[in-house]
Chains A and B, each alone.
Chain A
Amino acid sequence: MPVAIAPNPEADLDVDEPRAIDEGLVGHDRVFHASARTVGLVVLLLILCIGGFLGYQGFPTLQRYGLSFFTETRWLPERDIVGLAAVLVGTVEVALIALAIGFPLAFLTALFISEYAPARLRTTLVSLVDLMAAVPSIIYGLLGFAFLQPHLIYIARWLSEYASWIPIFRVDTDPHAAAWAQSKFTASAFIAGIAVSLMVIPLACAIMRAVFSEAPLGEREAAAALGATRWGVIRSVVLPFGRRGVIGGTMLALGRALGETIAVLLIISPAFEIKFRVLTVGTMTTSALIAGRFGEATPSQLSALLAAGFVLFLMTLSVNTVAAVFVNRSRTGAGTDV
């Protein structure tokens, strides 16, 4: 027999809204939650601090030079001429060269591992890519400096001879010289960019591969059952699914390339001029400037370097954040919703 429950006269039964439930946390859980939250906050604050301190310390420089800090190409602190224009152009140049070489290779390697390699080799290949990411950047710097450079100058010369109708490949050399001027082709943005590309390939590749391999089996089989070739499956299912991962991975690679220091410092010879001829000797990037000039800096020069660091911080942080947003969306599968 159902028994009617006597309504509690205190409660207003007409109101139908979620009631507040006391979580009933025991004492040490409160401590646990509070401390975990604190650590999360500390890490969040830490990154804001990095930006904050750099900005605070670099502020005198920005105030002193104003806009000319971004338009002046020369970096002569002893003569009170300080500007980032050439350095920023060099930074972007090296990063873009690294991407131009690194992106296709990372993309193809990711496709190879997730789609073409035999299943039993796949784990090993993934490990190798991770290993490549773990190799310190100074090693790639050494490789670029001592091993790749002697070969790359020939490629650079070839490009400058046969592709000089593209302005960026132009190099001013005497075409009638008996021996070609090798030194004109060394220590360039091109060679630094290739060394940096070795660093960003594993990073971009790992992210792209992870996203590719998550492409839904149902759609892969649907395409295969229609008579699609392997490339057909990739084109119709894997790439549309992995688009965000490709973009996110590339952006992360760009962020890393913008900030790469030691490999660039080892390879380039410093040149403070805005130039777009990437094959010609000499360039400068922000991070290499900081690392290279730090040792001998006076307090006022230090402020200028910190201001440069602040600019680099803003650049990489914005690129990385955009990348992280892309990668995360793709990872949660939101990218597949239409």
Chain B
Amino acid sequence: MQALTSEELTADIPRRTSARTLDDRASLLGAAVGSVALVWVLYERVFSLSGAVGFVVCWYLAFVTLYALVSGVSNPGPIVVDRVWAAVVTGGATLVGLALGATIVFIFVKGWPALHHLNFYTHDMAGVRPTSPLTQGGVLHAVVGTLIQIAIAVAIALPLGVATAVYMTEVGGRLTDAVRTVVEAMTALPDVLAGLFVYTVLIIGFHWERDGFAVSLALAVTMTPVIARSAEVVLKLVSSSLREASLALGASHWQTVKGVVLPTARAGLVTSLILGIARIAGETAPLLIVSGASTFFNKNPFHNPMNSLPLFIFSSVRSGEPAYITRGYGAAALLVALVLVLFVAARFLARDRQVAR
């Protein structure tokens, strides 16, 4: 045992308390260093294997084994199990974090050759030959197309989604559970089916043109349940005492919902809207079915095909032309940037309120 010095006692300052003992730290460090050394020697020299991925995998396995052995020498069973699981859990989470980081870095690195040309943002692809250098052509038409399609989809899906959420939380009725279950199941509906649905109804059924509006409808079908579900969560967070206070003042139910519930939940509703946008901004499959790709600028959603970022990425990457592929990655980077911006905006708005799911 170690006694406190008299100075520490009179000072009355917080002690450093840690659930980790020196044995914990020493075992961890020892196992980490030992396993690196072991794998270093065995991996390339003895087994003459190669490859960074293999090295890391071998190191991790050696580390967990060594950690368990070292811990087992001086600790009871539960402590050993606890440490091994801590190593496994941390390892798994690190791998997922690396995957996310790699995704974003990879897209921006691959897209950079296209991204640093100004014309990439200000031109469309009209008249650009497959072999044209990156200094010609751009994705303006796809960006504008994406923005217009998102705007129309929001105009349809937001009222529908919020009204569904209001129905589930405020009005209620026999169908509430059915609606909630279906809405939840629908948030994971394959996107390709939303495209098929709109195609069969609009384009086969009503002989509609394959244009931007049809795309927006398909996106709205995907987006409505996403908004409905997150808006429901947000509305549920509005304290029922606020509702009762309003009703007790003699306000009608509609006045309560319009004047108290929705304004209180406004920040949360904006968050759910933004998350809904982030979800549809990258949808590709419905577009592939409903819309045709175009190379030129088209800002009329009701006439002629309209390109969009996901579709542009898909067709460019599949084209086989190096310049096209690079443009595709550039567009992918723009798409990721768009999602990131939306995402940060959503977080910013939801900062003080845990409503984001």
Contact = CB atoms under 8 A, between A and B. Distances in A.
Contact of B182 (A43, A107, A287): A43
Interface in B306-343: 310, 313-314, 317-318, 328-329, 332, 335-336, 339-340, 342-343
23 contacts: A36-B163, A39-B163, A40-B171, A44-B175, A46-B224, A49-B197, A105-B95, A107-B92, A131-B339, A139-B335, A142-B329, A142-B332, A146-B110, A151-B53, A206-B357, A252-B188, A287-B285, A290-B192, A290-B196, A305-B196, A306-B200, A320-B189, A324-B185
Grouping DSSP codes into helix (H, G, I), strand (E, B) and loop, the B interface class, with mixed when no group exceeds half, is helix
A108 B186 contact: no
Interface stretch (A22-30, A173-181, A274-282): A22-30
B339 A291 contact: no
Contacts of B90: 112, 116
B88 A108 contact: yes
B177 to A, nearest CB: 9
A61 interface: no
Given A32-B253, A142-B317, A231-B81, 11 more contacts: A37-B173, A47-B189, A107-B92, A108-B89, A108-B93, A132-B100, A136-B339, A147-B102, A291-B192, A316-B190, A320-B185
B110 A53 contact: no
Given A53-B200, A116-B86, A261 B190 contact: yes
A42 interface: yes
A33 B253 contact: yes
A25 to B, nearest CB: 7
Interface of B: 51, 53-54, 78-79, 81-82, 85-86, 88-93, 95-97, 99-100, 102-104, 106-107, 110, 160, 163-164, 166-168, 170-171, 173, 175-176, 178-186, 188-194, 196-197, 200-201, 204, 221, 224-225, 228, 252-254, 257, 275, 278-279, 281-285, 288-289, 310, 313-314, 317-318, 328-329, 332, 335-336, 339-340, 342-343, 347, 356-357
Which of B79, B179, B336 has the largest count of A CB atoms less than 10 A from its CB? B179
Contacts of A37: 167, 171, 173, 175
Contacts of B278: 134
A229 B75 CA distance: 12
B201 to A, nearest CB: 6
B347 A127 contact: yes
Contacts of A109: 92-93, 96
Contacts of A28: 252, 254
Contacts of A112: 89-90, 92-93
Contacts of B193: 50, 54, 259, 309, 312-313, 316
A140 B178 CA distance: 33
A234 B88 CA distance: 14
A128 B253 contact: no
A37 B252 CA distance: 17
Nearest to A152: B53
Contacts of B189: 47, 50, 259, 313, 316-317, 320
B316 to A, nearest CB: 11
Given A104-B92, A262-B314, A320-B189, A54 B285 contact: no
Contacts of A117: 93
A43 B224 contact: yes
Given A54-B200, A324-B185, A291 B171 contact: no
Contacts of A31: 254
Given A49-B197, A108-B93, A291-B289, A138 B284 contact: yes
A25 B29 CA distance: 70
Nearest to A154: B51
Interface in A73-132: 104-109, 111-113, 115-117, 127-128, 130-132
Contact of A113 (B93, B168, B171, B284): B93
A138 B107 contact: no
A258 B191 CA distance: 11
Contacts of A228: 78
A97 to B, nearest CB: 16
A260 B221 CA distance: 17
A256 B182 CA distance: 15
CB-CB nearest 8 A-B residue pairs: A136-B282, A259-B190, A108-B92, A112-B93, A229-B82, A320-B185, A40-B167, A324-B184
A167 interface: no
B244 to A, nearest CB: 16
Contacts of B314: 138, 262, 266
Contacts of A323: 185, 188
Contacts of B173: 37, 40
A57 B92 contact: no
Contacts of A334: none
Nearest to B194: A50
Nearest to A145: B317
Nearest to A315: B190
Nearest to A289: B192
A159 interface: no
A151 to B, nearest CB: 6
B252 A261 contact: no
Given A36-B170, A50-B193, A290-B196, A29 B253 contact: yes
B254 A43 contact: no
A35 interface: yes
A155 B191 CA distance: 31
A155 B53 CA distance: 9
Contact of B357 (A210, A287, A321): A210
A306 B196 contact: yes
A106 B92 CA distance: 8
Contact of B285 (A43, A47, A291): A291
B107 A143 contact: yes
Contacts of B171: 32-33, 36-37, 40
A321 B181 contact: yes
A230 B19 CA distance: 10
A137 interface: yes
